[in-house]
Structure 1
């Protein structure tokens, strides 16, 4: 729901320096909304360790990033490890008032992803919200995860099945915030009205080899936003090779627009013809995914040419802003 501003070249400042590989002028990966140099990168900033890739090691990493960063309204069952808890939890993109967790009066319990973080590790904050949700009483809400006092150590990786994938259900509005027989009132009704007014139509683009890819109607144009699992430099090299070959788009009615970084991974973005339905891009996305996979396999034996290195540098500088 919130606007996400893409960053400039990683590891580079006006003085050519970086801190822990993070550009001090980019938004802090902790999600505070401040620049890194004014948050975890400052001398007086939060003292806990900043984890730039909080969902690493999970098969659902890319989907978690998409749900946290740009999917407006979606829910999916949280695949808890055996023995963690008996209650079924639903992971949600965003909850009323951006709550961290919510136990509805009908017994449905949610954990929200698009929340304000209180530490340098999104995974740790989410784990604490999950533990709260497992013991919450019906009708209770957790507005925000409080300061970490060390009483509940652990991360999301300790609580959910690391091999489980996610197939979120996308919604056209936020009616699922309240039980079907309940009329929203007060702050919830106002938040629901505002959220529904701001939502951008979004659909999953799926198919063989296509995961964590989303079609978004931004009004004047449509986009494909695709969270990729590969290390950034390796992915950029493969994309550069495809760009030199003229194979980086998704066919007629599309063009590569740029990329943004989110929680340690790169999210390439393509501009698309709005007249074509989201499902019409499934096959082209699958074909592009196959080209990327093949090109990634080539990199070890075939170093980039001079033209491909120039293309890579150009791609690295093409950062986009989500609106």
Structure 2
């Protein structure tokens, strides 16, 4: 016997609700020219921005509205449509689906459809649709680091007491962070009593692990004297090694050690020979050294 759909009060039938299936995408930024920078901005950079370029068909449809990628927006909102017409899209947000690329693309489209100055409504689970390569002109990110979150506001935006208080609270949460120019997606950060370098590696996980294991066997895993390889974490299909550093030297002090390590790492990553017994032991040890961000 077939099941009947419920009738509504008007005598008709309720429309069938479409079920949205969430699919996990382990590498949401795969294929983008600056995949590792997208990962860094998404995972651990506190206050940074980068201009984005809409694909020509979208620019024609919505006009030449400036679009900016932001690490985080007020209240971890997915997007803002400022009164001056600018659109800001946030990477670090409270609600997301299994496909970060789809989430960001949907947030951008919702902001473009929103009247400037009005709140942007973004679905928690957007379903199928365009992803970042479908809405943006791809290219390297021109990242600007910020000491605070004032970039959220237009230059002439009013700042009443509540706005200023919100900015001060957000700014107080920032650890000093510097983007190191000697390597892609390498960032220095000072936390209480010490500092770190966090570095998103572009190679597949197995290649990165083998390279780090070779360096560990050779005693070349520290960045420099007085530093320690703390471990690593996984982020969007890539490994992010972390080093503990003394707190006192400024970020600029570590540019040369990072450049030197990049050369050692590149040579180790290009080595095609299988790991020997010592290398395999080192690799197993590295797998157990997972670190958590704080």
TM-score tier (shorter): 0.7 to 0.9
- SS of 1:158's equivalent in the other structure is helix
Which residue of 189, 199, 224 maps to 2:174? 199
Structure 2 residue runs of 5 or longer lacking an equivalent are: 1-19
Task: Give the Å deviation of 1:78.
Answer: 1.2
Tell me how far 1:143 sits from its aligned partner. Answer: 5.6
Task: Indicate the residue corresponding to 2:140 in structure 1.
Answer: 165
Q: Is the 8 A contact 1:255 1:270 kept in 2?
A: yes
Deviation at 1:253, TM superposition (A): 2.6
Give the whole-Å Cα distance in 1 for the aligned partners of 2:140 and 2:114.
Answer: 26
| TM-score (ref. length: structure 1) | 0.79
Larger RCO (CA under 8 A, 6+ residues apart): 1
Change beyond 3 A, Cα 1:263–1:72:
same
Q: Of residues 192, 204, 212 in structure 2, which corresponds to 1:239?
A: 212
- Is 2:66 the counterpart of 1:96? no
Asked if the contact 2:89–2:107 (Cα under 8 Å) also holds between the matched residues in 1, the reply is yes
Is 46-55 or 141-150 further displaced after alignment?
A: 141-150
State the partner residue of 2:288. 317
Contact 2:196 2:244 in 1 (8 A): yes
- Aligned counterpart, 2:248: 275
Match of residue 63 from structure 1: 37
**Helix, strand or coil: the match of 1:217?**
strand
Distance of 1:94 and 1:187 partners within structure 2? 19
- Preserved contact between residue 189 and residue 196 of structure 2 (Cα < 8 Å): yes
Question: CA 1:219/1:165 → structure 2, altered by over 3 Å: closer, same or farther?
Answer: same
The runs of 5 or more residues in structure 1 that have no matched partner are: 1-45
Q: CA deviation at 1:79?
A: 3.3
- Counterpart position of 1:214: 187
2:213 and 2:290 map into 1 onto residues whose CA distance is 15
**C-alpha displacement at 1:60, in angstroms?**
1.5
**Corresponding residue SS for 2:24:** coil
Q: TM-score, normalising length from structure 2?
A: 0.87
Which structure is larger by alpha-carbon Rg, 1 or 2? 2
- Give the match for residue 174 of structure 1: 149
Residue number in structure 1 paired with 2:130: 154
Q: Distance in 1 between matches of 2:94 and 2:69?
A: 16
Q: Which of 58, 77, 102 is residue 124 of structure 1 equivalent to?
A: 102
Instruction: Extract structure 1 runs of 4+ deviating beyond 4 A.
Output: none
